[in-house]
Chain A
């Protein structure tokens, strides 16, 4: 499965026409320990760049932007009681939403891991 990255520090793991979306370890570290997370309701259609979820630290709320256009399929319910799972395993168990990929050509505008790592240093 291919993983793509955005300039807004989301990652997106592609499995056919479905993607799992989360935030990068770099972003999780920058935000600090998360205390709350929620996503748009399943069935909601989001455009690329729309807010698809929100994560909150003690200090602030941060939008998670949809890396591609698609329909929200599911929120990671584990985060409901334990948003800090994102900090502990940001690119694994701490995924945030699962969504469809309406237009696979949008993936071409995203970064691969090497490019993203170079971006955040």
Chain B
């Protein structure tokens, strides 16, 4: 039996805007609007794109003690990030790890003052919710906020679009989170995103989503952007897609996500370890890994896509790794990819060869991101 596709509160708006809808993580989602992936991508980097990301999971963790520190301590048993040190009104990237150091999802964690808000991937949200509830249920009330939508506005004009609705948005810095009313709708606004651009992610009750989306789209610089451009934007920004670039078989160290493990959680830190797979991660932090996630830039114009095998030699006799995400990068003006390569091939500038339709095309290991981030720090 095929499950009927779920719809976000903006489903009718997508149709009205002429979106082409596709199934994604159980939802009927806009992959592109009439402007097309290329134009939507470039518009986001030049002005601002509006993305419906309401399919993502939002989880509320309320400590039974009323002390948010208790929830933070409890959550640190599941993620290697420093949650106890996360201040009220601040957000942070984290990963859920497994006993062998793999990644079962990546997420954003916000300290809402007296509770924690998690935003997790759509495809993982039921498993994540069960995972958190099982681990934290004794000390916290854990709820899936299924009645909440999420809209992202990304790009250099995102601030102006938000400021038109509430001037306080201008005072926020990257990863700040604030509650504000936009177009009469109570919202949780974070200065964050998945494109490498400055921008905001805005959560609200489902029944307010259309009002907020229309208010933002009323700004002349804001245009709707679908999942197609969302993927090429995040790839140019060097950001991982769960299920492609990171999964149960990749550790945070292999994935070059050490930056998401703050000092307090690393060996020697005040609250070192204590999360699933901590010993694996500690050993890799000390000794390195046999493979590493890197950026890859093809020299020709042919895109090198996910699944392409990488070789150290032009004859294709020495396997070096595999591509996990690849596309044409509209802002880069050429093919961009990321993948895992053996540690001795992971240095920036290393020449490798990618197998594309039976031919070996030269690619270079490249620093990430491909397009410099424009966050308001």
Q: Which residues of A contact B (CB under 8 A)?
A: 32-33, 35-36, 38, 54, 56-61, 80
Q: Which segment, of B169-177, B266-274, B299-307, faces chain A?
A: B299-307
Q: Is the CB of A32 within 8 A of B328?
A: no
> Which among B38, B39, B228, B231 has the highest number of chain A CB atoms within 10 Å?
B38
**Is B232 an interface residue when CB atoms closer than 8 A count as contact?**
yes
Top 4 closest A-B pairs, CB basis?
A35-B328, A33-B38, A58-B37, A32-B36
Residue of A whose beta carbon sits closest to that of B303 = A56
Residue of B whose beta carbon sits closest to that of A35 = B328
CA distance A54 to B304 in the complex (A): 13
Q: Is the CB of B328 within 8 A of A58?
A: yes
Given contacts A35-B303, A36-B328, contact A57 B37 (CB under 8 A): yes
Residue of A whose beta carbon sits closest to that of B34 = A29
CA distance A58 to B305 in the complex (A): 10
Q: Which residues of B contact A (CB under 8 A)?
A: 32, 36-39, 41, 228-229, 231-232, 301-303, 305, 327-328, 330, 335, 357
What's the nearest-Cβ distance from chain A to residue B123, in Å? 18
CA distance A45 to B361 in the complex (A): 24
Given contacts A33-B37, A33-B38, A35-B328, contact A56 B232 (CB under 8 A): no
Residue of A whose beta carbon sits closest to that of B232 = A58
> Which among B41, B330, B335, B357 has the highest number of chain A CB atoms within 10 Å?
B357
Given contacts A32-B37, A33-B37, contact A56 B357 (CB under 8 A): no
Q: Is the CB of B41 within 8 A of A58?
A: yes
CA distance A60 to B307 in the complex (A): 13
Residue of B whose beta carbon sits closest to that of A84 = B38
What's the nearest-Cβ distance from chain B to residue A64, in Å? 13
What's the nearest-Cβ distance from chain A to residue B247, in Å? 21
Q: B residues within 8 A CB of A36?
A: 301-303, 328, 335
Q: Is the CB of B38 within 8 A of A56?
A: no
Residue of B whose beta carbon sits closest to that of A81 = B301
Q: Is the CB of B303 within 8 A of A61?
A: yes
CA distance A60 to B305 in the complex (A): 8
Q: A residues within 8 A CB of B229?
A: 58
Residue of A whose beta carbon sits closest to that of B229 = A58
What's the nearest-Cβ distance from chain A to residue B107, in Å? 25
Q: Is the CB of A58 within 8 A of B327?
A: yes
Given contacts A36-B303, A59-B231, contact A54 B357 (CB under 8 A): yes
CA distance A107 to B125 in the complex (A): 52
Supply 11 further A-B pairs (C-beta < 8 A) apart from A56-B303, A58-B228.
A32-B32, A33-B36, A33-B38, A35-B301, A35-B328, A36-B301, A36-B335, A56-B328, A58-B229, A61-B303, A80-B301
Q: A residues within 8 A CB of B38?
A: 32-33, 35, 57-58
CA distance A61 to B32 in the complex (A): 17
> Which among B36, B41, B335 has the highest number of chain A CB atoms within 10 Å?
B36
Residue of B whose beta carbon sits closest to that of A80 = B301
Given contacts A32-B32, A33-B36, A33-B37, contact A59 B228 (CB under 8 A): yes
Q: Is the CB of B37 within 8 A of A59?
A: yes
CA distance A35 to B335 in the complex (A): 9
CA distance A61 to B335 in the complex (A): 12
What's the nearest-Cβ distance from chain B to residue A120, in Å? 15
